[in-house]
Amino acid sequence: MQCKEVRDKLSRYADGEFGGRAAADIKHHLNECQACRSAAESLIALQSIVSDSLKERIPYPDLSSAVMSQLSAPKRSALKPTWAWAAAAAVLATVVILAYQWPTTSPPQAPARVVHMPPIQRQLAAKQHNARRQESAAAQSIHRKAAPPIVTRMASPAHKHFQQREAAKTERRTASVDNHLRISIDVVSVASANSDSGLRVVTTVESGGVLLTQVHQQEITKQEEPLSNAEEIERPPLEEGRGRFLSRPSSSGPVPNT
């Protein structure tokens, strides 16, 4: 092996790039040639210095939090549409369920339903109603605790004065569909000096503490006394803890129309 050939390969040899026969040939030449051996030692010394200086760790900042914050952003945004759709679907389903399970709901400001009866029929109906009411008074008192069981919609424009009345009693029913979705139903009983009364029902749907929707319903009502020019509507009580209405056997059916 000639010196020029060895010198050309010396850098790679010093870096351990040759093995087997090639490395043995170079090593053999270096044992015999002082000049090439000196050049090889110089290279190895240089590499050792460079390697040592580079291996020395330099101070570095902890970037783990910066990295993790960049990872969470795309993950959250990727999940966002799914969650939004799930929440929207849950709200829609809730509204539909409530609409079906609350037979007396009516839109805000909707005029009250009125049944007109001749005077003699009204008197007859009132007598029949009073008799039934006395028989079922005990059963009704149980349901009054949850919500007024019987309300009578008025034909008068009393609903215009609804907002002037003071809330006398508020009952709240809360149901949690899962860890995030929470439905609250507030039933506010109101009363006024002229004996008119009413109910305001506020259905609130929240997700993770954020208000998603709130539905306001109100009804102008008057207690049973006296029954006149009216139609009885039975309101089932709320089921404790689930936020939905239970059907119950009718204790006082609708006033006959004849």
Partner 1 sequence: LLSDEQIIRQVLKGDYEGYRELVQRHQGAIYCLAYRMLNRAEEAEDVVQEAFVRAYSNLSKFRDRARFAAWIRRIAVNLCLARLPREIPSEDVESMLDAGMSRDDLVQAEVILRMERGRVREAIAKLPADYRTAITLRYEEDMPYDKIADLLHEPVSRIQVRMHRAKKMLAQRLAVMLEDAV
- Which spans of this chain sit near partner 1 (rule: CB under 8 A)? 11-12, 15-17, 38-39, 41-43, 45-58, 60-64, 66-68, 70-72, 75
Q: Could you tell me if 246 and 255 are in contact, meaning their C-beta atoms sit under 8 angstroms apart?
A: no
Shortest distance in whole angstroms from residue 29 CB to partner 1: 16
Residue whose CB is less far from partner 1, 40 or 125: 40
d(CA 181, CA 210): 9
45 vs 167 by CB, closer to partner 1: 45
Structure tokens belonging to residue 173: 């029913």
Q: Give the residue with the Cβ less far from partner 1, 13 or 245.
A: 13
Residues 95, 204 contacting (CB under 8 angstroms)? no
51 burial level (CB within 10 Å; 0-12, 13-18, 19+): exposed
| Beta carbon of residue 64, minimum distance to partner 1 (angstroms, whole number) | 4
Report the nearest approach of partner 1 to the CB of residue 41 (Å). Answer: 5
Which residue, 3 or 88, has its beta carbon nearer to partner 1? 3
Encoding tokens for residue 29? 């030449």
Q: Output the smallest distance, CB 208 to partner 1, in A.
A: 19
Specify the residue for token string 């044992």. 31
DSSP 8-state code for residue 27? H
